[in-house]
Homo-oligomer: A and B are copies of this chain.
């Protein structure tokens, strides 16, 4: 399963590439917004805050898809489909700081006061790619 992300697309996770994360609303219709993205060699990781639409959606229905475009070439992209295996607040605050470092070059994520960060571990099941 660790081999599902194609070797020659793993560089996307090293770049400041956004993922567009699709989740399912309560009525089964899709929702999609850009998010920061990470990969730990097994799971694709995204980070959100309690109470947001995508948080509620993934708590209700674990099926997701992500599209990750190469910031250096929009015609090169990886699509990942899978399910959220784990939703946890543990290490979510540290993880968003790691993402702030990667995407913004800062040590501390400038979040909202009182915001509770949540980490979603997505098991890739299918991928497609172009470019």
Contact = CB atoms under 8 A, between A and B. Distances in A.
B33 A79 contact: yes
A12 to B, nearest CB: 13
Given A18-B74, A22-B22, A74-B18, A31 B63 contact: no
A29 B66 CA distance: 12
A3 interface: no
List the number of copies, as a whole number. 2
B69 A18 contact: yes
Contacts of A81: 25, 29-31
Interface string A18-45: 1011111100111111100000000000
Interface of A: 18, 20-25, 28-34, 53, 63-67, 69, 74, 77, 79, 81, 128
Given A18-B69, A31-B81, 20 more contacts: A20-B22, A20-B67, A21-B32, A22-B22, A24-B29, A25-B81, A28-B28, A28-B63, A29-B63, A29-B65, A29-B81, A30-B32, A30-B65, A32-B67, A33-B77, A33-B79, A34-B67, A34-B69, A34-B74, A34-B77
